[in-house]
């Protein structure tokens, strides 16, 4: 679940998700070790890197939209994009990923064809 959040939401990358970048591994370590990090700076550096590459999509659109709306920044003229089903997290998403709520606690319950995590 943490891997999914990092590669799709926190530090999105283009291409495959089987290999983690050093920054993604570091971020995972920080989260598991409860070490604080500056997420706005991480977002800024990620956006600068994406902007400097030829074939790249600017990340964090949905997060930035929420920030802009919170501070009443007008977004007229911008084309709204509906989030894809795989970009949202809810009970059914977690269930599809193999997580089940048992006695109020989310527990990973792999199917027979999945390896334990």
- Residues of the chain with pLDDT > 90, as a percent, come to 22
Say if residue 75 is in the same domain as residue 100. Answer: no
Say if residue 66 is in the same domain as residue 104. Answer: no
Say if residue 65 is in the same domain as residue 100. Answer: no
105 forms bridges with which residues in the sheet? 102
Q: Is the pLDDT assigned to residue 15 strictly greater than 80?
A: no
Say if residue 77 is in the same domain as residue 95. Answer: no
Say if residue 15 is in the same domain as residue 46. Answer: yes
Q: In a 10 Å sphere around its CB, with 0-12 CB exposed, 13-18 middle and 19+ buried, how is residue 10 labelled?
A: buried
Give me the domain span that covers residue 46.
2-81
Q: Is the pLDDT assigned to residue 117 strictly greater than 60?
A: no
Say if residue 73 is in the same domain as residue 112. Answer: no
Say if residue 57 is in the same domain as residue 102. Answer: no
Say if residue 24 is in the same domain as residue 76. Answer: yes
CA separation, residue 102 to residues 6, 51, 115 (Å):
25, 44, 20
| Tally of domains within the chain | 2
Say if residue 100 is in the same domain as residue 60. Answer: no
Q: What is the pLDDT of residues 35-55, one digit of tens each?
A: 999 989 988 988 888 888 877
Say if residue 67 is in the same domain as residue 106. Answer: no
Say if residue 77 is in the same domain as residue 102. Answer: no
Structure-block tokens of residue 78: 């911008």
Q: In a 10 Å sphere around its CB, with 0-12 CB exposed, 13-18 middle and 19+ buried, how is residue 9 labelled?
A: middle
Residue labelled with tokens 């995590």? 117
Distance CA(90)–CA(93), nearest Å, equals 5
Q: What is the pLDDT of residues 60-98, one digit of tens each?
A: 888 888 899 999 999 998 888 887 777 778 888 888 888
């Amino acid at each position: 679940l943490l891997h999914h959040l990092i590669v799709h939401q926190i530090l999105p990358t283009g291409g495959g998700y089987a290999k983690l970048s050093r920054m993604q591994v570091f971020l995972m370590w920080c989260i598991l070790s409860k070490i604080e990090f500056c997420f706005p700076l991480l977002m800024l550096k990620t956006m600068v890197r994406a902007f400097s590459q030829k074939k790249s999509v600017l990340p964090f659109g949905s997060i930035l939209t929420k920030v802009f709306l919170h501070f009443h920044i007008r977004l007229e003229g911008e084309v709204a994009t509906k989030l894809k089903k795989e970009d949202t997290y809810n009970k059914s998403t977690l269930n599809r990923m193999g997580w089940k709520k048992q006695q109020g606690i989310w527990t990973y319950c792999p199917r027979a064809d999945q390896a334990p995590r």
